[in-house]
Amino acid sequence: MRSRRSISDIVAVVLLIVIAIAAAVIIYMWLSGLIGSVHTSTTATQVKLEITGANVTEAISQAQGGGYYGKYNVYATVYNPPDSPSTSITLGELELTNGTMICSTSNISPASSSTTTITPNGSNTINFTCTGPAASPGPVEVILVTSQGVQVSYTTSITTISSS
């Protein structure tokens, strides 16, 4: 009878050790996943830019071959909240609201200052020009991409200017 009781005690101790090790592994995996997500690109998750206004004008011209293309001039006013780090705009895109790309450029220039960097609690007007297929006047999305890879967008409409 004694041998049975000692075998039960050994099995119970082994089961408790296995449960403790499994719990430790699960807690370690949870913590390492949590810590890993915090350490990956914290600057990108902290950037909170907002486009407060945008204006898009299109000059339509006829291409050789009969088609039409548009030269788009985009102005976007960007605000960087106080709790967001300094960032700069590296890419500007113009899309239809259904996601179809009209044009894109990395040739971004500030409209009023000498830099595209936007400091915390600061604002700047960004300007870019790009060429793409002629779009009918209507809603479009102005998309700006920061140096950290964060995208911000603003929906506006196109103002068309006739050109020969």
- Residue of 54, 48, 53 whose CA lies nearest to 118: 48
Question: Which regions of the chain are under pLDDT 70?
Answer: 1-5, 34-45, 63-67, 111-115, 136-137, 162-164
pLDDT digits (tens, 9 = 90+) for 56-100: 888 877 766 666 778 889 999 999 888 888 888 888 898 888 888
**From CA 73, how far away is CA 60, in angstroms rounded?**
12
Specify the pTM: 0.67
Length of the chain: 164
Collapsed DSSP state (helix, strand, coil) of residue 42: helix
Q: Give the rounded distance of the alpha carbon of 16 from its chain centre.
A: 48
CATH number of the domain located at residue range(s) 46-162 in this protein: 2.60.40.10
Are residues 133 and 102 in contact, defined by beta-carbon separation less than 8 angstroms? yes
Compute CA 134 distance to the chain's CA centroid, rounded to the nearest angstrom: 26
Bridge pairing between strands 117-118 and 101-105: unpaired
What are the residue ranges spanned by the domains of the chain?
A: 2-40, 46-162
